[in-house]
Amino acid sequence: MQKTPITPDLSGVPSTFHRLLQGSSVYDSSSSPQARVWFIEKDSGYYLKCSAAGSLHHEAEMTHFFHRKGLAAEVLNYLPLENDWLLTRAVSGEDCVSARYLAEPERLCDTLAAILHDLHAIDPSDCPIQHTETYLRTAEHNYRAGMFDPAHIPEAAIYPSADAAWQAVQQKKHLLRSDTLIHGDFCLPNIILQDWKPSALIDFDHAGIGDRHVDLFWALWSLRFNLKTDRYATRFLDAYGRDKVDPEVLQLIAAIEVFG
């Protein structure tokens, strides 16, 4: 996770956070233009995230939920104002795109599979958010808005057009289940290890009760993207448990994901 030293402009920051920021070393740790993330080097460390109004409610709720399960950072404050602000305590360790973990791809592959297997074994009954309906509703909205980007998803090459991909979704969406606690974006940068042991997951804006194949799809995508090869896909699925994997549903996820 990158950390660029900055001098923050406090004029647009809620006064609630001023004391924490003043006199502290602050680093920009943003990974997308949609959200600003600051790492605050004070005590054991904090992350302060700012995004558009209403956009962090889901993440705040699910980070709190996963923290109670021992799988996420502690949420210290969520302020829904003109912008959303989310303050969490930092967790120990490094994300899985750190050089030390990428240097041992077989071990990394097995570690990710074990973490995902254990996550999916958690009883989801007390989870406050359902994922599948929102997932499909978002895909339909984006399809009708003309959004279609298969370039970053090799599995989508079989769909020559947005209409073809959407037809596949309509024909097979009944295969999606809502019976598993999922992260929703199970990619290497969102998994924190400390000396190869699971420390925490981060970025829960797509988490909820959904279909396990969403996490499986993004784990396979991220292994391919970050290791620059497909050679670890078979190893990952074997380690996770082939009996729990339906290739047809993985292909369905690819059709949905081309709509963002």
Q: Is the pLDDT of residue 224 over 90?
A: yes
Higher pLDDT, 246 or 34: 246
Work out the mean pLDDT of the chain and round it to a whole number: 96
* Per-residue pLDDT at 181: 98
Q: Tell me: pLDDT of 7 over 90.
A: yes
Q: What is the pLDDT of residue 14?
A: 97
- Beta-bridge partners for 194: 197
DSSP state of 130: B
Instruction: Name the segment(s) of the chain with CATH classification 3.90.1200.10.
Output: 94-257
Structure confidence at residue 31 (pLDDT): 80
Write the CA distances from 259 to 139, 144, 161, 181, integer angstroms.
Answer: 5, 10, 11, 23
**32-64 pLDDT, tens digit each:** 888 999 999 999 999 999 999 999 999 999 999
**pLDDT value at position 95?**
96
Is 214:185 a contact under the CB 8 Å cutoff? no
- Which are the catalytic amino acids? 185
pLDDT of residue 214 exceeding 80, the answer is: yes
pLDDT at 201: 98
Q: 3-class DSSP state for residue 160?
A: coil
Phi, psi torsion values for 82, nearest 5 degrees: -60, -35
pLDDT in tens, 101-133: 999 999 999 999 999 999 999 999 999 999 999
What pLDDT, on the 0 to 100 scale, is given for residue 2? 75
Summarize pLDDT for 155-192 with one digit per residue, the tens: 888 999 999 999 999 999 999 999 999 999 999 999 99
Average pLDDT over residues 243-260: 96
**pLDDT confidence band for 1 (50 / 70 / 90):** low
Predicted confidence at residue 143, as pLDDT, reads 98
pLDDT of the residue at 112: 98
Residues 94-257: name the CATH superfamily.
Aminoglycoside phosphotransferase (APH), C-terminal lobe (3.90.1200.10)
Which CATH code fits 4-89?
Answer: 3.30.200.20
Is 257 within 8 Å of 181 (Cβ atoms)? no
Intervals of CATH 3.30.200.20 along the chain: 4-89
Give kind and range of the element (H or E) at residue 139.
helix 132-144
N- to C-terminal Cα separation, the chain: 23
